[in-house]
Amino acid sequence: MSLTQDLKTLYHLSLSPIRGQTHAERLKSFYGKQAEGYDDFRRRLLPGRETLYRALPAPAGGRWLEMGGGTGANLEFLGERIRDLGHVDIVDLCGPLLEIAQRRIADRGWTNVHTTEYDATTFQAEPYDVITFSYSLTMIPDWFAALERATALLKPGGMLGVVDFYVSRKHPDQGRARHGWLTRSFWPFWFNRDNVFPNPDHLPYLQRHFTLELLEEGRAKVPYVPFARVPYYVFVGRKG
C-alpha cells in the first residue's frame, strides 16, 4: 500500500464530510471513496480478527453469516476451512464494499459465499451455525436489534463471534479491563465523527446473553498516530 493511498484513506476517515439522511446513505458516503484502500489500511488498524476466526468452528456443510461483512476480507482468516461450509452470507448495507467482496469471491473461487445488501437488524434467512460481527457492531445504530436478530438467526448451540472497539464501564465486572476517564472520553469522541460508537454496554450485553467461550481484551495501535492505543475485545459465545 502506498503512502498516497494511505493519505487518501486518512482524509476520508478524518476530514471528508459524511452525508446522507439514512444509515445506508451515510455508509455509502463514508466508504464509497475509500473502498479500494479499505482492506489494506484496516489490516493495520483492526486487530483480533485472526484470533476470532481461528477460534470459531467451520462445520462441514454448516451455515455462516457475516453481519456487516463489508469486503469479505475477514473470511480470509478461515483459510481453506471456508470450503467446508455449505453456505456463507455476507450481509452489509454498503454497496461499494460489497462490490469488493464480490470481486474477492470470484477471485478465490468461493462458490458457497454470497453477498446481500441489507440491514442487519431486519435480515431474514434460515438458521445459522455461526454468526460474526467484525468491527461492525459499533457501526450499527440499533445494536440491540442487530444482536436480537443474530440471536434469532442462530441455531441452538450456535456460535456468535464479535471483535470490535469498545470502552469499559466506569466500574466493569471483576476481572475485566478498566479504562480511565481519558480513554472512556476520548475514543468515543474520536470515533463518533465517523459514525462509529464504541460502547461500554456491548460487552456486558454479550456476556449476559451468551455462554462465554472466549474473551480477550487488548489495545491496538493506530496507524500514523504515535502512542495512541485504542481498546478492543474479542468475544466468542454460544447460544443456549
List 217's β-bridge partners, or say none: 233
CB 201 within 8 A of CB 147: no
User: Nearest 5 degrees, angle CA 239-CA 234-CA 178?
Assistant: 110
Q: Name the phi and psi angles at 235, rounded to 5.
A: -130, 135
Phi-psi region of 20 (alpha: psi -120 to 50; beta: other; left: phi over 0): left
What's the pLDDT at 75? 96
- Between helix 23-31 and helix 95-108 the angle, nearest 10°, is 60
User: Within a 10 A sphere around the Cβ of 1, how many other Cβ atoms?
Assistant: 12
User: 64 near 88, Cβ under 8 Å?
Assistant: yes
Distance CA 43, CA 2 (A): 14
pLDDT tens digits for the chain (240 residues)? 455 555 555 544 554 555 666 666 565 555 655 555 555 656 667 889 999 999 999 999 999 999 999 999 999 999 999 999 999 999 999 888 999 999 999 999 999 999 999 999 999 999 999 999 999 999 999 999 999 999 999 999 999 999 999 999 999 999 999 999 999 999 999 888 778 899 999 999 999 999 999 999 999 887 667 788 999 999 999 998
Q: Are 168 and 184 in contact (CB under 8 A)?
A: yes
Grid-cell match 454496554, residue found: 201
pLDDT by residue (tens digit) across 36-73?
555 565 666 788 999 999 999 999 999 999 999 999 99
Closest by CA to 209, choosing from 152, 163, 171, is 152
pLDDT at 192: 86
Q: What is the pTM of this model?
A: 0.85
